Structure 1
Amino acid sequence: MSSKPVGVWTVDSEAGQIRQLMGRIVIMTDGAGFQPVTETINEWLLENGAGDGLLTLFLRHTSASLVIQENTDPDVQADLLDALHRLAPEDINYRHHLEGLDDMPAHVKAMLTGVSVQVPVVAGQLDLGTWQAIYLVEHRTRGHQRSITMHYIGA
C-alpha cells in the first residue's frame, strides 16, 4: 500500500545566493531541567536576515543536551527528567566522580539524548511542528554556563 502526500512544496534554491551565518548563545542554567531556547534562536535568525535553509545547533558540553520536545505540557518535561534519572541514577558507584556525584550520570544522559540538532528554516524561522520547541537540558544538579554554536546555511 503506497501513501500519498497530503501536500508538497518546494523552495527554489536558485532564488537567491547561498550564504552562511554563525553565532553563539551563552546560557546560565539554574540546575537540572529544560531551558527553552527556541525564541532566542528565532530572534537571531530574524536579526541576521535568514531566509530558507538549514540550522545546525551544537552544544559545547558533555553533561547537558539539546533536544526537540513537547512545548505545551510541562508534565512531559518532568516525566522525561524522571525517566533519565531512572536510566542514569546518581547512587551507582561510578568510577568518574571528581566533579561530584551528579557528573557521571549527566554524561550518560547527554550521550543518550545528544548535543546537536538540525532544523530546517523557512522564511527566516525554525520550521518546528506545532507542539515542538528546542531545549537545552541541564543534567547537573547546580547551574552551569552553557554555550550553543549556531550554523545557518541557506538563502
Structure 2
Amino acid sequence: MLTRTLHLETSSDPVTDVTAEVRAFAANVGRSGLLHAFLPHATCGLALLETGAGSEPDLVTALNGLLPRDDRWQHSHGSPGHGADHVLPAFVSPSLVLPVDDGEIALGTWQSVVVVDTNVDNPRRTLRLSFLTGA
C-alpha cells in the first residue's frame, strides 16, 4: 500500500477543496485501484461536493442549522459552540474511498473532494492518502 500525508491549513474557509492534491497522488501512482482519504481528527470530515456554484456556503448554512454554535453542547471547552465541531464527523465522515482508473480518480463531472472543518480552534490538519492497487 502506498501512502502520502498532506498538511493543510483550513482556517480561511470551512470548506477546503483538496481535489488537486488527491488527483496528483492518484496520478503519481499511475495504476487502478482504490484511494482511501482519511482525516485523523475528531472535528472535521471529507465530502464529495460540487464547488464554485454556491454549494460551499449552502453546506455551511445547513451545518449551522443542524449543529448550531451555541451553549447547548455537553462538550463545552474551546470557542463558543465548539461541541458542535465534535459532532460534525457523525454527519460528515472523516474518510472517503475513491475508485482510481489508470491513475485518475473516477469522480463525476461536478464532484470535488473537500475537507469540511468548522473548528476555528485548530486550523492545522493532516490528510492521509493511501492507495491499494487492484488485482
Assess same fold via TM > 0.5. Answer: yes
How far residue 98 of structure 1 moved from its aligned partner, in angstroms, is 1.5
Do residues 91 (structure 1) and 59 (structure 2) align? no
What's the TM-score, normalizing by structure 2? 0.90
CA contact (8 A) 1:33 1:139 kept: yes
Per-residue displacement from partner, 1:49-98 (whole Å, max 9, x unpaired)? 3311000111111111100111341x111111101101110124222111
Structure 1 or 2, whichever has the larger Rg, is 1
Judged with a 3 Å threshold, the aligned counterparts in structure 2 of structure 1 residues 64 and 32 are, in CA distance, closer, same or farther, namely farther
Q: Which AA in structure 2 matches 1:22? A: T
CA contact (8 A) 2:26 2:104 kept: yes
Residues 138-153 of structure 1 aligned to structure 2 (within 5 Å): 138-141=117-120, 144-153=123-132
Per-residue displacement from partner, 1:99-124 (whole Å, max 9, x unpaired)? 22232111122221110000000110
CA distance in 1, matches of 2:60, 2:132: 33
Q: Which runs of 5+ in 2 are unaligned?
A: none
CA contact (8 A) 1:31 1:143 kept: no
What percent of counterpart residues are identical?
25
What's the TM-score, normalizing by structure 1? 0.79
Q: 1:34 aligns with which of 3, 15, 27?
A: 15
Q: Which AA in structure 2 matches 1:23? A: R
Corresponding residue for residue 43 of structure 2: 63
Corresponding residue for residue 33 of structure 2: 53
Q: Which AA in structure 2 matches 1:58? A: F
Corresponding residue for residue 137 of structure 1: 116
Root-mean-square deviation (CA, aligned residues, Å) is: 1.6
Q: Which AA in structure 1 matches 2:63? A: L
Corresponding residue for residue 127 of structure 1: 106
Q: Which runs of 5+ in 1 are unaligned?
A: 1-19
CA contact (8 A) 1:38 1:134 kept: yes
CA contact (8 A) 2:35 2:129 kept: yes
Do residues 109 (structure 1) and 88 (structure 2) align? yes
How far residue 152 of structure 1 moved from its aligned partner, in angstroms, is 0.3
* Poorly superposed stretches of 4+, deviation over 3 Å: none
